[in-house]
């Protein structure tokens, strides 16, 4: 099993990158399954049914999210109707949507995808993912050993500790949220692939996907600014993970950094 995870998709430039680059990556890496974090896909903040449909039609199998989940009111339709769209699992009981899914497709082994959100420097404060994750993972392992986890968090220490806790129980834990791709890809002793942050998919001639000058003015003056999505140097960031079909253990993890044009 070869799985591609695409880092946070930012706005229209990010969606364009997925549409144009995913076919090439699928062929180059012989991909079987594709997951993407889409929480910034609608105007750079939040997600809507329209942007989700665009991402799915580009060839993505599951979309994960994070702290910008509620930025677009239309997200309620996604949470209620689209099983392939995940919110963080550690929202309180009764929150619309779901935080995990197991997908079966043809002759491929079932793939479990899970989404959790960290608590250090993160808003809104959610339930403790460390306390919930083991129980949630056990439930998914009843259906498959191939499990990918998107851990949407700020602190690298929290990400590493969370992944170490799940080592040997899931195939991969990849972090999102900071929009900066890290260079610490590795496979832990128990067979879990890990990367602190997948980076982001969108305009990199920017400040985390936003136009540079308004962000500078915010830091210089402290005054409110309108942060529009930038347009320059569009790239797709993520990671390709090769997983043993029988054991669910990771065999290889490779960072992806692909330019558009």
Contact 40, 76 (CB under 8 A): no
- What pLDDT does residue 107 have? 87
- What pLDDT does residue 59 have? 97
* Radius of gyration for the alpha carbons in the chain, expressed in angstroms and rounded: 17
Q: Which of 68, 152, 179, 237 is catalytic?
A: 68
- What pLDDT does residue 260 have? 87
Of 185, 201, 161, which Cα lies nearest the Cα of 35? 201
The pLDDT tens digits for 95-151 are 999 999 999 988 899 999 999 999 999 999 999 999 999 999 999 999 999 999 999
Structure tokens at 221: 């003056």
The pLDDT tens digits for 68-98 are 999 999 999 999 999 999 999 999 999 999 9
Domains in the chain: ranges and CATH: 2-259 (3.60.21.10)
Half-sphere exposure of 166 (CA within 13 A, CB side): 37
The pLDDT tens digits for 21-52 are 999 999 999 999 999 999 999 999 999 999 99
Q: Catalytic annotation on 237?
A: no
CA distance 259 to 241: 20
Asked if the bond preceding 124 is cis, omega within 30° of 0, the reply is yes
- What pLDDT does residue 105 have? 83
pLDDT bucket at 239, cuts 50 / 70 / 90? very high
- What pLDDT does residue 106 have? 84
The pLDDT tens digits for 218-233 are 999 999 999 999 999 9
pTM score, whole prediction: 0.96
- What pLDDT does residue 91 have? 97
- For the cut 80, the answer to whether the pLDDT of residue 261 exceeds it is no
């Amino acid at each position: 099993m070869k799985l591609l995870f695409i880092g946070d998709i930012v706005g229209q430039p990010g969606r364009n990158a997925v549409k144009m680059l995913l076919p090439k990556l699928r062929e180059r890496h012989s991909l079987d399954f594709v997951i993407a974090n889409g929480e910034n896909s609608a105007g750079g903040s939040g997600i809507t049914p329209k942007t989700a449909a665009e991402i799915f039609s580009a060839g993505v199998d599951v979309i994960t999210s994070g702290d910008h989940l509620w930025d677009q009111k239309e997200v309620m339709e996604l949470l209620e109707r689209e099983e392939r769209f995940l919110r963080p699992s550690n929202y309180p009981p009764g929150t619309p949507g779901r935080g995990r899914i197991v997908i079966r497709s043809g002759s491929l082994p079932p793939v479990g995808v899970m989404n959790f959100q960290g608590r250090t420097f993160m808003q809104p404060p959610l339930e403790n993912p460390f306390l919930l994750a083991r129980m949630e993972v056990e439930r998914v392992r009843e259906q498959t050993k191939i499990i990918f986890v998107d851990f949407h968090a700020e602190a690298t220490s929290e990400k590493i500790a969370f992944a170490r806790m799940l080592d040997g129980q899931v195939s991969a834990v990849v972090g999102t949220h900071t929009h900066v791709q890290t260079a610490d890809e590795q496979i832990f002793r128990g067979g879990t692939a890990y990367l602190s942050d997948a980076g982001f998919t969108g305009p990199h001639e920017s400040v985390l996907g936003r136009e540079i000058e308004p962000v500078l003015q915010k830091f210089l003056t402290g005054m409110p600014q309108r942060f529009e999505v930038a347009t320059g140097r569009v790239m797709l960031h993520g990671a390709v993970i090769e997983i043993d079909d029988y054991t669910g253990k990771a065999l290889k993890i490779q960072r992806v950094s692909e330019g558009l044009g």
